[in-house]
A and B are shown apart, each in its own frame.
Chain A
Amino acid sequence: MIFDEEFETMPRLALESLQLHRLQKQIANVYLKVPYYAAKMDAAGVHPSDIKTLGDVNRLPFTTKEDLRKNYPFGLFTVPMEEVVRIHASSGTTGQPTVVGYTKADIKMWAGLMARSLSAAGAHPNDIVHNAYGYGLFTGGLGAHYGAEELGATVIPISGGNTKKQIQIMRDFGSSVLLCTPSYALNMAEVMEDQGVDLKELKLRVGIFGAEPWSEAMRIEIEKKLGIKAIDIYGLSEVMGPGVAIECAEEQKGLHIMEDHFLAEIVDPDSFEPLPLGEKGELVFTTLTKEAFPVIRYRTKDFSRLITDECSCGRSFYRMEKVTGRSDDMMIIRGVNVFPSQIEEVLIGIDGVEPHYMIIVDRKGTLDTLEVQVEVSDNLFSDEIKNLEATTMLIQKEIKERLGVSCKASLVEPRTIQRSEGKAQRVIDKRKF
């Protein structure tokens, strides 16, 4: 179902004219209200009045996480604090957290976009939405919560963690839509299996998973293990939070970007030059309507490409290809770019290999080493050494063939790789640069 027919199916011409109008207004406002942005634009020799077409957006300077940190905590807000009704922040595992703010209108807009997303994924107002995204500074929990309420569904604000209780509530309350990270969904499926939960006891129908990149192979795994349709959702706190883009249940092929609120570009990750439509590069977003914390050409570090083909669901919004990696996650192993999701894709493709893995990167002398640890499931296990060694050799061979990098595959005991209750930690990089 299309929640917001007027905008979601708007003809491209009208949509682009709306985008331009909103962009011009946004840039003028930001220039006026935020000295930091004004100084950056002046330095780049561009004035808000130079934005005459949508294409002119590439004359504007980029915004990066660095800019956000320099203005920590509230330096890039465009409204006085009395108008800010909510603060969220990134976890800040790689440095100072990045802080974002919302006005009342921002929260309402976000709830609307999340309601659109839920609806696109196949949720209805009579659904029971099991929201296992973390509540707190992380945008996932509250973002999804307000959206589900806006849709008119019943929300269970269970947040992350305590998996056994999650499953009990799922069963007792009849949860029909699950929201969490894909890695946590797999963790839940595993605990259900242990407890001997029959999927028929559950009413789960749809899962909406995001906050970390996940592969197509992982989707198949989740859909099979939970007996649901698994939908990818995209968002980041700097731009808004979850609901920036969503897959439609009809196609599950690319995520429709809420283009009436966000202008997407793809740029070359090295030269930062704009790439032609359809080419793969780094996603860059400009918010068109946000009040408290607009961002101009924010570099997401996520890799994707835009799909401009018409979609059978009827939405006119362009789609972004499922994000398969972030430049943050990218490992350079002996000069080869490797994303954890590529390794995941290989592992899931091998019979009997469970999608619980850990990647360990180290450096011996001057040589990078890549180790992939995989848990030995009952399906994989054999009483003969040669069979187990054949499995590790197969993993090594497949990774070498598909990724062009040699690795050492190790088998570890079951349940020894840490299970995720939020964003999964898949990589340990021990190298010191």
Chain B
Amino acid sequence: MLDALSYDFMQQALAASLLASIACGVIGTLVVVNRLVFLAGGVSHAAYGGVGLAFHYGWPVLPSAIGFSVASSMLMAGVALKRPEKADTAIGVLWAAGMAFGIILIDLTPGYKADLMSFLFGSILAVPLTDLYLMAALDAALLAMVALCHQTLLVTSFDREFAEARGLPVRTAHYLVVGMTAVGVVMLIRVVGLVLVMALLTIPPFIAARSARSLPSMMAAATAWSTVFCVGGLALAYRWDVTSGAAIIAVASAGFMAVSGAGALRRAIGRRNPQ
């Protein structure tokens, strides 16, 4: 098994796992505590519209996808802020519309067809070195941003009304969280695929939240869990020759169920033997 580590592609896959886990741990924690999971799903799917635009007009893919998803995320964030009761519907519409728009544009483009499957599942085993550097830069920018405004993020995430009454920039903080999510998610999709991004954005923070005592510790624990799932999934993929992204999600889902089950068991025992 350990001989796998001697392959270049495996080393790069592990590096990509760690870098993606850091981004997912940080963004995922903010997404989960702000209840923005559905919005993150909408943003990441709508990004396919940007991919379609890029292919149809021959624009560079990454900037187009980021521009498209930041624009659609600001739209969703605005609705979530001003008409919270309509946010669910608006996100659902943009989610579907962005994706359909991308597919139609790619259908209308002659010649090379971008592969929808690689958008959905990515390929963590074939990450070019330049993408690793790009992800390292994204992680550094994210960590710097979160460290700089962590008190604003803490107060506005915990109790928005109180933050507003203390004169904190509640709206700016909301758009910042959504914008960071949009940029981060698009960069990660390129590397590991949409489905894996959604899994790593939600499952590790959920498990981390059960024992974390602060936002930074939740981010650290989510990153650690995410790395464990990635390494476990890659090992499974190597051993049985199955799709790496799906193997990582399988391991993460098993972890999710094990932790939820253990929690339910502990509560049941606690009810039977009250202190």
Q: Do A and B come from one complex?
A: no
